[in-house]
Amino acid sequence: METVVITVRVPKSLKDELRKRGIELSGVVRKALEDELRKRERKELESAATGLGGLFSRMSEDDIVRAIREQREQR
């Protein structure tokens, strides 16, 4: 896995408290960034699903089934 270095400014007192308690700053920041990315991806998927729900609500069940079958046959 390729990595990059980022720089974060935090108050010295915060860094000292983290070190005193044995908290690895890079691990905490990495996890926070991963969590934020997952949260935003989930929101985007929910928004897309809502849009598709609106589209499907305007289609008949037969049209939906036909569209799914067509997509499967194209694979």
Domain extents in the chain? 12-74
C-alpha span between 17 and 11 (Å, rounded): 10
Cα angle 25, 29, 30 (rounded to 5 degrees) comes to 115
Span 12-59, pLDDT tens digits: 999 999 999 999 999 999 999 999 999 999 999 988 888 887 777 788
C-alpha span between 63 and 56 (Å, rounded): 9
Cα angle 28, 30, 1 (rounded to 5 degrees) comes to 145
> What pTM, to 2 d.p., does this model score?
0.64
